[in-house]
Structure 1
Amino acid sequence: MTPPYENAIVVVTGASTGLGRAIAVGAADQGARAVIINYASNESEAQETAWQVRALGAEAVAVRGDVGEDADCIAIAEAAAPFGRIDALFCNAGKTTRVTAHAHQLDKLTGEDFLDVYRVNVVGTFQAVRACRALLEQSDRAAVVATSSVAGVTGNGSSIAYSASKGALNTMVLTLARGLAPKIRINAVAPGFMDTVWFDKMGPHRDKIRASVIERTPLKAAASAEDIAGTALYLGSEAANRVTGQTLVADAGLSMTGG
């Protein structure tokens, strides 16, 4: 059987750790020829991702850049240009601002908080797609996969700003699906809780949240980065070649319970 990403040129933003790394390594494991690994600041972790990609036989190119800056998105696309095309673009870079008590968010959050989160989660995704569009159009299997969140569906996230940004991202995916068709597909994956450094930042609350998620989800599971990477890689592969404009929730069923 032909590997899903055989000979593919793949770009992953926010790929130094967590889900981004799992997507990059997963694409290499599934036959990718080259993976462009974007990172914002942590070069040592990005190089670890690159090492893991190379260990699986794919070329790896690490490129520093903040997707919230249009010039950096252009630089990410330029790193893929020598390969002549992009087959799959994973817009995974994201950020949040945390306010633990939702009742306090109207007082604690500022307009600047919203703009900062939207700059990466929404505008950054838009700019990355725009920068890579010409190379995506050179592929006969072009796909974009954006990392959203179940927070964009339920509104229950780390802050109002974060949840709102992911809701905006889901809507933008719908709009871009129309604008990029018929040459390029675009979808989003919306994870719930994942065992990654993202949730490690919750400190002592992390284990309690994890246990609560496992208890409340129908599948009685907390996802790993590799679990969600599998879903993202499906959306970016030819197995999903008739799927576009969709947001696929991957939260072990938690949103069905109202959680």
Structure 2
Amino acid sequence: MSSLLQGKVAVVIGGTGGIGAATATRFARAGARVVVVGQRDEEKARRVAASLPGEGHRGAVAAITDSAALDALAADVRAREGRADILVNTAGFTKAIRHADLDALTDEIIDDIMKVNWRGQFAAIRAFRALLDASGDGLVVNVSSIAGTTGAGSNIAYCAAKAGLDVMAASLGRALAPRIRVLNVSPGVVDTGFVPGRGEDFNDKAAATTPLGRIGAPDDVAAAIEACATQLTFSTGVTIVVDGGRRLN
């Protein structure tokens, strides 16, 4: 345990997923109180919160696609925690679709991907802006992807949504300064089972073509998110790549 984030409240949306739970653990070890936010399963969010070191953590639910639910979450955090200093958006969704198969990338899939991977993050920031601003040292960290710059990802819409997050960081880093910093952490392949249908064969091939010789672990990404809060305090509006060098291929 450390005291780097003592007295801070961190809200981790998508906190029951691999990257989210690892981030919650790191924040708790650094002394923060953590609100672990799941999409629907409040019991799972509570279990993750109960597993964290330290005290004052709790679970909650709010669908990233439901702006009213995000507003209600922010109001609940204001009432119960009294503050929010850090907002982390790790919630996401994708589906593997070959880039050349234009017909398979339907309007419905495109809309769902944009709602979950871009609009939801913006809506969460919008909901928590007043609390983060009141902190005076507010921080937003979105989880992007190298797909946003390489154009090689699970599908074209996913690449576009993640590119949009990178631009959002630049736009909001400027617009919300100096009281709120906005950063992206951009992983490559991470061992979370995030993309349906990708298993050990895909992971082994990805590791073999990654300069550092392995795919990422959730804690690799969580460590970068923690650094945004504890070390990179003079950075805003930028995307930090955590991919083992995979984008170099």
Q: What CA deviation, in whole Å up to 9, does each residue of 1:84-107 have, x standing for no partner?
A: 2211110111111321x3221x11
The equivalent of 2:232 in structure 1 is 240
Q: Paired residue for 2:35? A: 36
The residue number in structure 2 matching 1:214 is 207
Structure 1 position 7, deviation (Å) = 1.9
Aligned counterparts of 1:159 and 1:12: Cα–Cα separation in 2: 26
Corresponding residue for residue 81 of structure 2: 83
Report the 3-state secondary structure (helix = DSSP H, G, I; strand = E; otherwise coil) of the residue aligned with 1:11. strand
Q: TM-score, normalised by structure 1?
A: 0.91
Task: Give the number of the structure whose residues are more often helix, by fraction.
Answer: 1
Find 1:131's aligned residue among 127, 132, 139.
127
Aligned residue type for 2:111 = L
Partner residue in 2 for 1:67: 64
Q: Deviations over 1:142-186 (max 9, x none)?
A: 110001111111111111111111011111111111111111000
CA-atom RMSD, angstroms? 1.5
- Which amino acid letter does the alignment assign opposite residue 253 of structure 1? G
Question: Where has structure 1 moved over 3 Å in runs of 4 or more?
Answer: none
DSSP-derived class of the 1:59 partner: coil
Give the superposition deviation at 1:124: 0.6
Structure 1 residue 197: deviation in Å?
3.0
Query: In the TM superposition, what whole-angstrom CA distance separates every residue of 1:24-44 from its partner, at most 9, and x where no partner exists?
Result: 111001111x21111112334
Structure 1's unaligned 5+ residue stretches are none
How far 1:83 sits from its partner (Å)?
2.3
Residues 152 and 164 in structure 1, CA contact (< 8 A), matched pair in contact too:
yes
1:93-104 aligned at under 5 Å gives the runs: 93-99=91-97, 101-104=98-101
Partner of 2:247: 255
Letter in structure 2 aligned against 1:61: R
Does structure 1 retain, via aligned residues, the 8 Å contact 2:209–2:246? Answer: yes
SS of equivalent residue, structure 1 residue 241: coil
* Secondary structure in 2 matching 1:35: strand
Q: Quick one: distance in 2 between partners of 1:45 and 1:13? A: 13
CA distance in 1, matches of 2:130, 2:12: 17
1:171 partnered with 2:167: yes
* Unmatched tracts of structure 2, length 5 or more: none
Shift of 1:18: 0.6
Task: Report the CA distance between 1:2 and its aligned residue.
Answer: 5.7
Secondary structure of the 1:149 match is coil
Q: Which residue, out of 217, 223, 230, partners 1:230?
A: 223
Checking the alignment, whether the CA contact within 8 Å between 2:46 and 2:58 is kept in structure 1 is no
2:51 partner SS: helix
Contact 1:16–1:43 (CA under 8 A) maintained in structure 2: no
Three-state SS of the structure 2 residue aligned to 1:198 is coil
Q: Which amino acid aligns with 2:51?
A: Q
Counterpart in the other structure of 1:187: 183
Q: Distance in 1 between matches of 2:153 and 2:76?
A: 34
Deviation sequence 1:57-103 (CA, Å, 0-9, x none)? 1322222111211111112212321322211110111111321x322
Structure 2 counterpart of 1:9, one-letter code:
V
Aligned residues of 1:177 and 1:244 also touching (Cα < 8 A): yes
Structure 1 CA distance for aligned equivalents of residues 44 and 191 of structure 2: 17
